[in-house]
Each structure stands twice: as C-alpha cells, then as structure tokens.
C-alpha cells in the first residue's frame, strides 16, 4: 500500500495535479531523478503506441499499435483505489521539464489512455453524507439521479444564462465530491461521445443521448432553500471532468437539454 502513484512499486514522485475525463487521465508529478528514473525510461519506451477507437453508441476500445506490450501498470494511492480502479494505461504523450538542476528535480506531465472504458463496477444506491432526520429536511441539498445511483450533496454551484424568452438555461454545474461520489459520477458518465447535436432547419438544434442506457442523462432536483433559479429537470451531460484538489475532487458538468 502506498500514498503515491506507483509503477511496479516505484513512486512517480509528488503528485501536483490529476484530471480525469471520459477517455483520459492527465497526471503531473515532481520527482527526483535518482528515485524515479527507471519508470521514466519505461514511459519513454512505450509512449504513443496506442490508438483510441470511439464506438457508435458511446464508449471506446483501445488498440495497441505497437508490439502489444505497451501497457503501463499504474497504481493509484491506497486511499484512492476505489475511485481509480483501472490500473492499466497507455501513455498517449508525456513531457519532462527540469525544475532544479542542483537537486536533479524534474516535472513529469503524463497524458494517459485507459486500457478499457469505465463501467458500472460500484454498488451504488443513494450516496448522501448529509442525511438529516425525515422531519427536518436539509434545505440546501441537490439531488442528482443517474441511471445507476443517486447522489445527494450540498457542495454545488451553478452557472446559468437567461434565454431570450426569459427562461433559465443551466450551462454548467460545479461540485466538490468525495472519492466514492466521484466514482458514481465517472462510471455513469462513461459514454460522453454518445451525445449528438442534430441540426434542425429553421429551428432549435436537438441534443440527444444515444447511449444504449442513457448513461449521459441525469435528473436534477435543486434545493428549495437556494436563491439560484435552477429548474428541476432532466439534463444531458455534454462534457465532464474531475480534478483532484488535494483532499477531494472538483467536478465540472456541462449540461444541455433534448
């Protein structure tokens, strides 16, 4: 068990950033040459030897375009393995920058492609860390009802715009979530490329979630006690990313309507 990201038990150094999307993981580390050089050499040897093929109804498959032996066995820190259960990755690209010449300290930026797409592996029902007594409901909780699981949380901010007809258009939602909550979001929203915008002549473009089980669709119920005029509605998630912030995860959801 380790507090660091490791490759075959060797630490990649101090993590500076971590960003996950539906088909990628971006990691940045600061490391000392003497501690991590063997891993850096492996990364250099296998970089750029995979291709991601998108599937019609969402998701992807990854093809090794090299000699078939280009997977990086990358293990997340022990307290994050529930949210990062995939531990085989292809290196799409990388860069190394010298930070401290005297101490031989470098910065490593890694762009990774997962060996497989995320699937529903968690046992999700309702995740609610702020569960008050039934006779004293929490006025600040948002409810997000996904195809597989329900998330209830307070830590939400919303960006909206007003349309010409005076209605409210929800453009983006920002959440701060714990690892198990992030896993629910990421595993549900694994079919981002199944969202299509269809042009309608002389009309409003139509947005469709064409994944087989509507994985990109979420029902959002706003709290009664908030000032933002956020309509209770069914939304399609057109883009998302999760970013580690040192203790939990900042989550961005970009939304649209059918």
Residue whose pair of structure tokens reads 């949380």 in the numeric block = 153
Residue whose pair of structure tokens reads 């006025």 in the numeric block = 139
- Cβ atoms 114, 187 nearer than 8 A: no
Low-confidence winner among 120-129, 163-172, 207-216, 241-250 (lowest mean pLDDT) = 163-172
> Would you state the pLDDT for residue 103?
87
Average pLDDT over residues 138-167: 82
All domains in the chain, ordered by first residue: 6-114 (no CATH), 126-256 (2.40.10)
**Residues 6 or more apart whose Cβ sits within 8 Å of residue 39:** 7, 8, 10, 12
pLDDT single digits (tens) 48-70? 999 999 998 999 999 999 888 89
Rounded to whole angstroms, the Cα distance separating 138 from 125 reads 19
Question: Taking the model in full, what pTM does it have?
Answer: 0.88
User: Given a cut of 90, is residue 192 above it in pLDDT?
Assistant: yes
Average pLDDT over residues 113-142: 74
> Would you state the pLDDT for residue 2?
66
> CA angle, corner 143, sides to 142 and 145, nearest 5?
155
Average pLDDT over residues 235-249: 94
User: Given a cut of 90, is residue 106 above it in pLDDT?
Assistant: yes
Residues comprising the chain, all counted: 258
- Cβ atoms 70, 60 nearer than 8 A: no
> Would you state the pLDDT for residue 163?
63
Candidates 156, 240, 132; CA nearest to 190 is: 240
User: Given a cut of 80, is residue 127 above it in pLDDT?
Assistant: no
Alpha helical stretches, state H, the chain? 33-46, 179-188
Which of the 8 DSSP states describes residue 231? Answer: P
- Torsion, Cα of 30, 32, 35, 38 (10° steps): 80
Give the sign of the dihedral formed by CA 163, CA 252, CA 185, CA 195. Answer: positive
């Amino acid at each position: 068990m380790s507090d660091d990201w490791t490759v075959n038990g060797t630490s990649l150094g101090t993590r500076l950033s971590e960003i996950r999307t539906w088909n990628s993981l971006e990691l940045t580390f600061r490391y000392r040459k003497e501690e991590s050089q063997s891993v850096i050499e492996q990364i250099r040897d296998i970089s750029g030897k995979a291709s991601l093929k998108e599937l019609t109804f969402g998701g992807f498959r990854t093809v090794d375009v090299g000699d078939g032996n280009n997977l990086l066995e990358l293990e997340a820190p022990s307290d994050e393995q529930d949210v990062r259960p995939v531990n085989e990755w292809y290196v799409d690209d990388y860069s190394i920058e010298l930070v401290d010449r005297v101490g031989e300290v470098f910065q490593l930026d890694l762009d990774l492609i997962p060996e497989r797409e995320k699937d529903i592996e968690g046992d999700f029902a309702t995740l609610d860390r702020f569960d008050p007594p039934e006779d004293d409901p929490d006025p600040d909780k948002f409810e997000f009802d996904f195809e597989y699981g329900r998330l209830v949380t307070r830590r939400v901010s919303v960006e909206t715009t007003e349309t010409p007809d005076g209605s409210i258009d929800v453009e983006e939602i920002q959440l701060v979530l714990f690892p198990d909550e992030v896993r629910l979001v990421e595993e549900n929203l694994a079919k981002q490329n199944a969202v299509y915008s269809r042009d309608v002549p002389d009309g409003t473009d139509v947005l469709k979630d064409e994944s087989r089980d509507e994985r990109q669709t979420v029902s959002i119920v706003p709290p009664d006690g908030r000032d933002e005029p956020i309509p209770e509605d069914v939304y399609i998630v057109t883009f998302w990313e999760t970013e580690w912030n040192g203790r939990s995860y900042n989550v961005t959801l970009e939304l649209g309507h059918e």
